[in-house]
Amino acid sequence: MGLLQISEPGGASPRRGSRKNVAGIDLGTTNSLIATYVESGQGAMESAVEGTVQTLADSHGAHLLPSAVQFGATGVLATGAAAKARAAEDPANVIISVKRALGKSHDELTASGDYRQYRFAADRAAEAPAFLTAAGARDAVAVSAEILKALAARAERHAGASIEGAVITVPAHFNDAQRQQTRQAAELAGIKVLRLLNEPTAAAVAYGLDSNERGNIIVYDLGGGTFDVSLLSLQKGIFEVLATGGDTALGGNDFDKVVVDWLASKAGFAAIEPARYPALLQVANRAREALSEAGQAEVVWGGWCGELTAAHFAELAAPLVRRTLSACRRVLRDAGMKLGDIDHVLLVGGATRMPVVRQAVSEYFAREPLHDIDPDRVVALGAGIQAEVLAGNRPNEDFLLLDVNPLSLGIETMGELVEKIIQRNTAIPVVKSQQFTTFKDGQTAMTLHIVQGERELASECRSLARFTLRGIPPMAAGAAKVEVRFQIDADGLLSVAATESSTGCKAEIQVKPSYGLDLGQVEKMLHDSRAHAREDMQARALGEAKLEAERLIDAIDGAVKEDGGLLDAAERQAIEAALASLGEALAGGDPALIDERRARLNEVSESFAARRMNATVGAALRGESIETFENLAK
């Protein structure tokens, strides 16, 4: 944001600078949009927000740009509606629903079933998986960049100049890899990203709820490929996301799939050929959209013709709708709120036009949800308003957006335990730090493993990155002090730095997407953390008990080897017996027994430790004057 100007006392107000050409972009799974400031008299859409920011239409008057790109031997052949229209005849080269591929591994893409009509490039284990097209391998970042280029070109035609920056929206539940790739796609398209903004927050801004004095707002966002629900609170001009939830693999496309499955069973298909799947999806999509306006829809495929009623579709879609309401319940529980605490419910995303969805949301929250603004356009409009604020075009705005990180972030410590540094649902941007130390005597390096998730063991969380801090002075275990600093910026992107205090040696990393990981673990983390809470607590207690016991065993083994001459036979025997007993407890895995036997080892070695300390102090002071001793004692 630009610096605010202050005039001298009694002077005239400074003249406002020229308006920056910025935009808000909703990069969607099914459709994408761009919104910019429009001067009065330039033509307006019917639901302009704030009288200034509007979504832009193409030369045919269409505001929605289908998120589809067709590739040919010479490169990109078509983007948007023209590409989508050719999906049935050229399924391998028309990439659709690419947003679902962002941040995912090759195994995840092939296992999901969303991309059965495509082939993927081999030998890309260390890179993002790529679609094989007539133009060569194209990964999700490259395909998304083509969609963004088409939107930017639309804005440039409108303004007569290139855009200077954009706010791009992402689902609130997008993880770090998906956010990073969204930013990379924008950079590849030549667009400067002012901020990545969570879609629910953008929707609330578009409705002008920021002008209210206070209120709690649920944003129910069901798009083509993702579902998000967020609870926002407005308190004295501060817009804060209290909790988020959702499903990055649930959207309007999945409602189309249940129609496809119904059609396949009615028409007697044993299997659906991958090449014909896009055309079948289009038939299902048309039927679903028709049911939003009528009580029945005719479905024709090949030589088969049938009728799908709204009541039957509601039965088919019921499990998907229940999944969305389960996410709503989790968000309310996370925020410690009840249904009666909610002041507004917003519907966002084209899939919320389905009567079965509107009815379910209305019944669950016991209120009529707001859907005055076109649910397809509302996110782009909110992003456009926020872009105006960030660019300094609207300097008098009095609201502040505070998003949250959806999952806890931390590092792996000894014993494979997770130390959470930034808890989930912490408002961002945020910086938090914590001190750590070495485990072994003479340790000169430390490997930091960054993880994301709610479980207590690192193996149950998502691995984000690893990096190493070198140059730690060789000291006794536990003497070094290393500060680990986590920073999440306003886009939700993470950077981690580690600094050793005595030397100032530092290592840092900006977390980049990791491929080959199980995204399903990420999406189930919140559920799993609750389902396994008791066993996780037991695992952590056992891990901590083992860690303390192993430290004590190492310390006493080293002390006996170095100063065993200070022990008499009975003391040595007692210590050896206590060591063996503690070793047996470690093998058994009972944390209470481990703690009990560790206490016993401390007890039998206490007099030995005291004699070692006395001998060390005596050696250090031998030959020194009484004045030196007195000075040391001061």
Considering the domain architecture, whether residues 571 and 503 belong to the same structural domain is answered as no
Q: What pLDDT shows up at residue 8? A: 37
Greater confidence, 617 or 259?
259
> Is the bond preceding residue 429 a cis peptide, omega within 30 degrees?
yes
Give the CATH number of the domain where residue 588 resides.
1.20.1270.10
Considering the domain architecture, whether residues 413 and 399 belong to the same structural domain is answered as no
- The answer to whether the CB of 337 falls within 8 A of the CB of 232 is no
298 within some domain: no
Considering the domain architecture, whether residues 169 and 32 belong to the same structural domain is answered as yes
Average pLDDT over residues 179-205: 89
Average pLDDT over residues 65-88: 94
Among the listed residues 114, 221, 228, 256, the single catalytic one is 221
Q: Which tokens in the block code for residue 632?
A: 């040391």
Around 549, how many Cα atoms within 13 Å sit in the side-chain half-sphere? 29
What stretch of H or E contains 65? strand 65-66
Considering the domain architecture, whether residues 49 and 151 belong to the same structural domain is answered as yes
- Tell me, yes or no, if 99 is annotated catalytic: yes
Considering the domain architecture, whether residues 351 and 481 belong to the same structural domain is answered as no
Residue (of 76, 81, 32, 87) closest to 55 by Cα position: 32
| Domain boundary pick from 349, 373, 404 | 404
8 within some domain: no
Among the listed residues 84, 99, 104, 257, the single catalytic one is 99
Q: Which tokens in the block code for residue 480?
A: 């070094």
Q: Is the pLDDT of residue 396 over 70?
A: no
Greater confidence, 634 or 86?
86
CB neighbour class for 609 (10 Å; exposed up to 12, middle 13-18, buried from 19): middle
- Average of per-residue pLDDT values in the chain: 80
Among the listed residues 26, 176, 210, 456, the single catalytic one is 26
- Tell me, yes or no, if 228 is annotated catalytic: no
Considering the domain architecture, whether residues 331 and 424 belong to the same structural domain is answered as no
301 within some domain: no
Q: What pLDDT shows up at residue 292? A: 85
Cα(379)–Cα(348) distance, integer angstroms: 7
Greater confidence, 343 or 393?
343
What interhelical angle do 569-588 and 591-621 show, nearest 10?
140
Q: What pLDDT shows up at residue 524? A: 54
Task: Tell me how many domains the chain contains.
Answer: 3
Average pLDDT over residues 445-449: 86
Q: Is the pLDDT of residue 189 over 90?
A: yes
pLDDT tens sequence across 197-240: 888 888 888 887 655 557 899 999 998 877 889 898 877 556 67
375-395 burial, b at 16+ Cβ within 10 Å, e below that, comes to: bbbbbbbbbbbbbbbbbbbbe
Q: Is the pLDDT of residue 390 over 90?
A: no
- The answer to whether the CB of 132 falls within 8 A of the CB of 109 is no
| Domain boundary pick from 488, 514, 530 | 530
- Tell me, yes or no, if 536 is annotated catalytic: no
- Lowest-pLDDT range of 151-165, 258-272, 282-296: 258-272
Q: What pLDDT shows up at residue 83? A: 95
351 within some domain: yes
Task: Give the distance between the most distant pair of CA atoms in the chain.
Answer: 107
Q: How confident is the model at residue 567 (pLDDT cuts 50, 70, 90)?
A: confident
Q: What pLDDT shows up at residue 507? A: 86
DSSP assignment letter at 91: T
Considering the domain architecture, whether residues 598 and 514 belong to the same structural domain is answered as no
Considering the domain architecture, whether residues 525 and 400 belong to the same structural domain is answered as no
Among the listed residues 90, 114, 139, 199, the single catalytic one is 199
Residue (of 405, 68, 375) closest to 207 by Cα position: 375
Q: Which tokens in the block code for residue 329?
A: 């319940």
Chain length of the chain:
634
Average pLDDT over residues 34-62: 72
- Tell me, yes or no, if 199 is annotated catalytic: yes
Q: Is the pTM of this model over 0.75?
A: no
End-to-end CA separation in angstroms for the chain: 54
Count CB-CB contacts under 10 A for residue 373: 21
Give the CATH number of the domain where residue 335 resides.
3.30.420.40
Q: How confident is the model at residue 337 (pLDDT cuts 50, 70, 90)?
A: very high
398 within some domain: yes
Q: How confident is the model at residue 539 (pLDDT cuts 50, 70, 90)?
A: low
377 within some domain: yes
Considering the domain architecture, whether residues 203 and 109 belong to the same structural domain is answered as yes
Around 336, how many Cα atoms within 13 Å sit in the side-chain half-sphere? 1
Q: Is the pLDDT of residue 144 over 80?
A: yes
Q: What pLDDT shows up at residue 13? A: 36
Considering the domain architecture, whether residues 526 and 540 belong to the same structural domain is answered as no
Give the CATH number of the domain where residue 481 resides.
2.60.34.10
Greater confidence, 294 or 401?
294
Range of the domain at 342: 22-252+316-404
Considering the domain architecture, whether residues 564 and 609 belong to the same structural domain is answered as yes
100 within some domain: yes
Considering the domain architecture, whether residues 127 and 245 belong to the same structural domain is answered as yes
218 within some domain: yes
Helix or strand or coil: residue 317?
Answer: helix
Highest mean pLDDT out of 48-52, 233-237, 253-257: 253-257
Q: How confident is the model at residue 527 (pLDDT cuts 50, 70, 90)?
A: low
pLDDT above 90: percentage of residues in the chain: 28
Average pLDDT over residues 560-572: 77
User: CA angle, 529 as apex, 526 and 532 as ends, to 5°?
Assistant: 145
| Domain boundary pick from 363, 378, 404 | 404
pLDDT tens sequence across 457-508: 877 787 888 888 888 888 887 788 888 989 887 767 788 899 988 888 888 8
Q: Is the pLDDT of residue 2 over 80?
A: no
User: CA angle, 170 as apex, 167 and 174 as ends, to 5°?
Assistant: 145
Highest mean pLDDT out of 36-40, 409-413, 436-440: 409-413
Q: What pLDDT shows up at residue 537? A: 66
- Lowest-pLDDT range of 155-169, 224-238, 487-501, 537-551: 537-551
